[in-house]
Amino acid sequence: GLRLGGCVNGTCLPRPPRVVRVQRGISSNIFVDNKAYREFLNSKFNATAIDMETAAVALVCHQQNMPFIAFRSLSDLAGGGSALSNEAASFATLAAQNAVDVLLRFISLLSS
């Protein structure tokens, strides 16, 4: 299986990262850092992941009739950290590298 990174600069995730197929992800034009809003989005739209970029890329691909698949690595739980912590900033590099690792594995499987 694919082993994902779990630590960056001596700071480690509370549990090992894993690859998960998101059932319904949504995109926003704002950074969502509010637990109540995250829970509302989950209950209203059954959203299990929130990001800030995927919808824009999906829209352009749709307009150009281009197939589209998104690989995201979530760096934090919206509204899940303390007011003093910035999980997104702490784990952005790790999340980006994990997304690249998953994408490269996916591409390697396409050719086999």
Q: What does pTM read for this prediction?
A: 0.71
> Which residue type sits at 2?
L
Contact predicate 54/70, CB 8 Å: yes
> In this predicted structure, what is the pLDDT of residue 24?
86
**3 state DSSP class of 8:** strand
Contact predicate 53/27, CB 8 Å: yes
Q: Report pLDDT digits (tens) over 42-95.
A: 899 998 888 888 889 999 999 999 999 988 887 666 666 655 455 667 778 888
Contact predicate 25/54, CB 8 Å: yes
**E strands in the chain:** 7-8, 11-12, 25-27, 49-51
Domain boundaries along the sequence of the chain: 7-76+83-110
